[in-house]
Amino acid sequence: MKERRRQKERSKPRSESKHQEGAVDTEASIESFVTSEQVESPLETPETTQVAEPEPQVSEPVTEEALVPQVLLPRWGDNKESEWMYQIPPRDEDRDMWMNEWADFVIQWTQSKGLHVLSVSAFIKEPPFRDMLGKVDAFRLIGNALVDKGVAEWLDDKKRQLRVYWRPLEEWADLVYGWAIETGNLHLDVKSIIIQEASREFASLPERDLHQVMEMLVDRKVAEWVDRKRGAILIRV
């Protein structure tokens, strides 16, 4: 009996040691599993981080109204709003007022277009004038009112072309002189201005008017003639 008890007591440490060894092996296997998981799943870096792309912006469709050019109208509106303004009044006193109202608008309209010569063919085709009754007669009446105001002149005896001075030639001369001094273009002539300076507002002036502008600058003693026939001058500094 004593021998058996001793044997049991001797066998206990061995089983405990085996149990401990099994525990150590289990812990080691866990550590190796965790280590392998860390190796296989590297930390995300800024390079590997996915950035959400911005959503494409959808542009609004262009409507038909946006494609229609805006028409400059007089303060009384179109022919639907003020039908009586789109026909020549029969009474003289009403006609005079009507002509002057339209004459003021023609100055505004030609300036907005950068137009210096208004022809009857353009008048009867362009809005809002094309909505008038008796368009040709209306053109001549309005033109006469502008001539009486001193801001226009007829270019032909049949009154088919009207030169509208929405800016006086004196002011054009100031603009040309200021531009010449600012840019250093002191040698000027009419043809060069029309061809080489087409983007300048004064380059759209009729050739006859540009000759008058050059003459004004010479008369002001700020320029001298180089070739009067060609409208060539030298700006004095």
- Round the average pLDDT of the chain to a whole number and report it: 83
Provide the CATH number for the domain around residue 158. 1.10.10.570
**Cα 104 to chain centroid, rounded:** 27
Is 129 in the same domain as 175? no
- Give the per-residue pLDDT at 63: 53
Cα–Cα separations (whole angstroms), residue 209 to 41, 178, 190: 84, 18, 10
Query: What amino acid is encoded at 140 in this protein?
Result: R
The verdict on residue 226 lying in a domain is yes
Structural domain containing residue 196: 169-235
Task: Please write the tens of the pLDDT for every residue from 13-55.
Answer: 444 444 444 444 545 444 444 444 444 444 444 454 555 565 6
Residue 20, in any domain of the structure: no
* CA 143 – CA 133 distance, rounded (Å): 16
Residues 122-128 have a mean pLDDT of 97
- HSE, side-chain direction, 13 A CA sphere, residue 146: 27
pLDDT at 231: 97
Domain end among 139, 164, 189: 164
Residues above pLDDT 90, as percent of the chain: 70
**Domain end position, chosen among 117, 145, 164:** 164
Q: Is residue 3 part of a domain?
A: no
Distance CA(172)–CA(201), nearest Å, equals 9
Reading phi first (left if > 0) and then psi (alpha if -120 to 50, else beta), residue 150 is in left
d(CA 194, CA 146): 27
Tell whether 91 is covered by a domain. Answer: yes
On whether residue 130 sits in a domain, the answer given is yes
Q: How high is the pLDDT of residue 50?
A: 57
* Buried/exposed 169-192: b ≥16 CB within 10 Å, e otherwise: eeebbeebbebbeeeeeeebbbee
The arithmetic mean of pLDDT across residues 162-183, rounded, is: 97
Beta bridge partners of 234: 187, 224
Strand partners, 162: 118, 154
- Whether residue 175 contacts residue 201, with contact meaning beta carbons closer than 8 Å, is answered with yes
Q: Decide: pTM greater than 0.75.
A: no
Mean local confidence (pLDDT), 121-127 = 97
Domain assignment present for 110: yes
User: Does residue 186 belong to any structural domain of this protein?
Assistant: yes
Question: DSSP string covering 172-205, please?
Answer: HHHHHHHHHHHHT--EE-HHHHHHHTTTSGGGGS
The answer to whether 118 and 166 are in contact (CB under 8 A) is no
Mean pLDDT of 2-14: 50
Structural domains in the chain (count)? 2
